[in-house]
Amino acid sequence: MNLERVSNEDKLELCRKYYLGGFALLPFLWLVNVLWFFREAFVAPPYSQQPRIKRYVRRSALGLAAWALALGAWVSVFQRRRAAWGALGDYLAFTVPLGTP
């Protein structure tokens, strides 16, 4: 999408929709929001909707970082303790490795 062809009001509304969509367990939308609107929020010449776009971009980046941290923590715990969890660890695993180290 070429944001240069979109009005500032439409940019703000699109940025807001992506920000709110991230709360529907879709953190990928936050990533898209940060990548698409970073330049509009922090590099473009000032305009009236820019402070709100900045706020949505910052919050999207914070939400994305929180999701990445939580996912990384879960993967770390699961990889280290799956075998100790017995049957539950096997049920949670997509592929069950044979044996334990």
Q: What end-to-end distance do the CA atoms of the chain give, in Å? A: 49
* pLDDT score, position 8: 93
Q: Cα 37 to the chain's mean position, in Å? A: 14
Q: Does pTM top 0.85 for this prediction? A: no
* pLDDT score, position 92: 87
Residue 45 carries which DSSP code? P
> Alpha-carbon distance 58 to 66, whole Å?
12
* pLDDT score, position 91: 87
Residue 7 carries which DSSP code? -
> Which tens digits make up the pLDDT trace of 12-71?
999 999 999 999 989 999 999 999 999 999 999 999 999 999 999 999 999 999 999 999
